[in-house]
Chains A and B, each alone.
Chain A
């Protein structure tokens, strides 16, 4: 913008360019929004135009909702300049709205209208909406049970893993005893413990908590340990000459320096604990989204499965987003971290 060249001066002097760029700018800024509104209208039309091949109660509402979204996309992007940051955000996401509208149209036509995809296994969008409206209490109970189990196990695993990692990294004696155990047990997938855990623990809930904690604890331990072990001696020298006691060296030097590693461990632990959570719920626990999936499959309620899967994906993604935002807050001093 700030560079000046001879051609800029010439171009501004020529009147023929003044109209065409205006149109081009308008198309560039609002064209995608118009396109998004077209694809969503197509989705709405596809819902309402033909009769459904099956019996679904939410087709009409879904069609109306699609037209509402089409209208929002149209006015939101065209009038973005008057809508402040919300308009800007909408414009940025407009290409995704286009793709989503096209995908939903295709999905609707391929399932509910022409039945190109075999029906009980591939439910149309309105069937999934129906699950959310009609089976909400059960779904919410499952979400609550899953979050409770996951949160408890993860917090225990992360805390124990962090403390173990710091101890191994700091104390040679602790390392001598814990390291071999860690090497022997750590790489074992936590799910391999499932059969043993379910009859040794008093309840399936405590067994699952233990397994989730185990799955979380291993990567957190190893990465915390490597973080503490890789702290440069120069930091300790500086702190010692300034009068630091051992507790200060651990709490104010080793741990903050190791924190970037710890967060990698927490991230990896989160991923593997999700896997354990779902398997544990499918096999032993009589609640939660994993159990809901299993239950839906037993009743051949495929729409419920997709609905639960979508919720699960939102929850897992939300958990990782939360972890990353905590990291960004704690590690503001780092430059160039990955944006989730």
Chain B
């Protein structure tokens, strides 16, 4: 069973996995007081889907991502990847955080190699690191240290560090949130083309309704904390999408309305 799974992983580049979030609730203990963050969230994601999670700041979206990654366990409910219960972190579900969190003591190449090294397969698969660096266009910076990189470059390295593992689910926690608007637009386009090429399932947390609509197949809108699903909107538009598309503009108005921001439109 394990052997066949391994053989498959080697021969086929990872395609997306299905993700089931079933009646998940979660709470934090802060000085003995229970603070609910997620309340009865159920989302079913098809393999290869690009889902954006949109909601007010601090509503619990990032917490949901940590549960999906397996970094924390939910207080109630279940999460499954391809029918298998998520209990621990696994390199098939890789997170790209808002901060690149590159290891400053490692060169760019060594940062990207981190996952393969941790899994003990780096020696035989060094080529994958080079390929991942090629993919994000940073081959010439392989020997640079993180403090020598710009914000956008650092985030690209973080993306390469995730993609080198051929994840089935790519979890993006506002990865473009701290970039300047030009870099941001470029990287949005890169994300879409990477996703189209690699066909991994993508979960993207964002504050930005426009970003969600330009990138995702589906936009899920969350309420204030404790977060529950307020709307599940399908975005049926071909890629590459245009920001000025009236269909998207209409959806954007709807979404901002759901978030209680009608007046600003």
Residues of A participating in the B interface, judged by any CB pair closer than 8 Å = 232, 234-235, 237-245, 248, 252-253, 256-257, 259, 331-335
Is B257 in contact with chain A by the CB < 8 A criterion? no
Whether the Cβ atoms of A243 and B103 lie closer than 8 Å is no
Interchain CB contact (< 8 A) of A241 among B89, B99, B117 = B89
User: Measured between C-beta atoms, what is the minimum distance from A258 to chain B in Å?
Assistant: 10
Known: A333-B145, A333-B147. Contact between A238 and B118, CB under 8 A?
Answer: no
Whether the Cβ atoms of B101 and A242 lie closer than 8 Å is no
Known: A248-B118, A252-B117. Contact between A241 and B93, CB under 8 A?
Answer: yes
Is B58 in contact with chain A by the CB < 8 A criterion? no
Whether the Cβ atoms of B104 and A239 lie closer than 8 Å is no
Whether the Cβ atoms of A243 and B71 lie closer than 8 Å is no
Given contacts A232-B101, A238-B95, A238-B103, 8 further A-B contacts (CB under 8 A): A237-B71, A238-B114, A238-B161, A240-B71, A241-B69, A241-B89, A242-B119, A244-B118
A234–B103 Cα distance when bound, in Å, is 10
Chain B residues lying within 8 Å of A239, measured Cβ to Cβ, are: 114, 118
Is B225 in contact with chain A by the CB < 8 A criterion? no
The secondary structure that dominates the A interface is helix
A242–B107 Cα distance when bound, in Å, is 17
Whether the Cβ atoms of B91 and A243 lie closer than 8 Å is yes
A241–B66 Cα distance when bound, in Å, is 10
Chain B residues lying within 8 Å of A335, measured Cβ to Cβ, are: 147
Chain B residues lying within 8 Å of A248, measured Cβ to Cβ, are: 117-118
Is B265 in contact with chain A by the CB < 8 A criterion? no
Closest to A236 in B: B71
User: Measured between C-beta atoms, what is the minimum distance from A251 to chain B in Å?
Assistant: 11
Known: A248-B118, A252-B117, A333-B145. Contact between A241 and B71, CB under 8 A?
Answer: yes
Residues of B participating in the A interface, judged by any CB pair closer than 8 Å = 66, 69-71, 89-91, 93-95, 97, 99, 101, 103-107, 114-115, 117-119, 145-147, 161, 165
A234–B93 Cα distance when bound, in Å, is 16
Chain A residues lying within 8 Å of B114, measured Cβ to Cβ, are: 238-239, 242
Known: A242-B114, A256-B103. Contact between A234 and B97, CB under 8 A?
Answer: yes
Chain B residues lying within 8 Å of A235, measured Cβ to Cβ, are: 101, 103
A253–B159 Cα distance when bound, in Å, is 19
Query: Of residues B69, B104, B161, B165, which shows the largest number of chain A Cβ atoms within 10 Å of its Cβ?
Result: B104
User: Measured between C-beta atoms, what is the minimum distance from A276 to chain B in Å?
Assistant: 32
Whether the Cβ atoms of A242 and B91 lie closer than 8 Å is yes
Chain B residues lying within 8 Å of A252, measured Cβ to Cβ, are: 117-118
Whether the Cβ atoms of A333 and B94 lie closer than 8 Å is no
Whether the Cβ atoms of B69 and A243 lie closer than 8 Å is no
Closest to B148 in A: A335
User: Measured between C-beta atoms, what is the minimum distance from B97 to chain A in Å?
Assistant: 7
Chain B residues lying within 8 Å of A257, measured Cβ to Cβ, are: 103, 105
Whether the Cβ atoms of A242 and B71 lie closer than 8 Å is no
Query: Of residues A244, A259, A335, which shows the largest number of chain B Cβ atoms within 10 Å of its Cβ?
Result: A244
Known: A237-B71, A333-B145. Contact between A242 and B103, CB under 8 A?
Answer: no
Chain B residues lying within 8 Å of A245, measured Cβ to Cβ, are: 118
Whether the Cβ atoms of B95 and A256 lie closer than 8 Å is no
Whether the Cβ atoms of B105 and A243 lie closer than 8 Å is no
Interchain CB contact (< 8 A) of B89 among A232, A243, A331 = A243
Whether the Cβ atoms of B161 and A242 lie closer than 8 Å is yes
Known: A244-B118, A248-B118, A335-B147. Contact between A238 and B93, CB under 8 A?
Answer: no
Chain A residues lying within 8 Å of B89, measured Cβ to Cβ, are: 240-241, 243
Closest to A242 in B: B115
Interchain CB contact (< 8 A) of B94 among A241, A253, A334 = A241
A52–B169 Cα distance when bound, in Å, is 88
Known: A243-B90, A244-B118. Contact between A238 and B106, CB under 8 A?
Answer: no
Q: List 11 A-B contacts (CB under 8 A).
A: A234-B97, A235-B101, A237-B97, A238-B95, A238-B114, A243-B115, A244-B118, A245-B118, A256-B106, A333-B105, A333-B145
A335–B147 Cα distance when bound, in Å, is 8
Whether the Cβ atoms of B106 and A333 lie closer than 8 Å is yes
Interchain CB contact (< 8 A) of B165 among A242, A253, A256, A333 = A242
Chain A residues lying within 8 Å of B146, measured Cβ to Cβ, are: 333
Closest to A256 in B: B105
Chain A residues lying within 8 Å of B66, measured Cβ to Cβ, are: 237
Chain B residues lying within 8 Å of A240, measured Cβ to Cβ, are: 71, 89
User: Measured between C-beta atoms, what is the minimum distance from A233 to chain B in Å?
Assistant: 10
Query: Of residues A252, A253, A259, A334, which shows the largest number of chain B Cβ atoms within 10 Å of its Cβ?
Result: A252
Closest 7 CB pairs of A and B: A242-B115, A244-B118, A243-B91, A240-B89, A243-B119, A256-B105, A234-B101
Chain B residues lying within 8 Å of A332, measured Cβ to Cβ, are: 145
Chain A residues lying within 8 Å of B119, measured Cβ to Cβ, are: 242-243
A333–B95 Cα distance when bound, in Å, is 25
Chain A residues lying within 8 Å of B90, measured Cβ to Cβ, are: 241, 243
Known: A234-B101, A238-B101, A259-B105. Contact between A243 and B147, CB under 8 A?
Answer: no
Chain A residues lying within 8 Å of B118, measured Cβ to Cβ, are: 239, 242-245, 248, 252
A333–B107 Cα distance when bound, in Å, is 8
A18–B69 Cα distance when bound, in Å, is 73
Whether the Cβ atoms of B71 and A253 lie closer than 8 Å is no
A259–B105 Cα distance when bound, in Å, is 10
Chain A residues lying within 8 Å of B70, measured Cβ to Cβ, are: 241
Closest to A332 in B: B145
A240–B165 Cα distance when bound, in Å, is 13
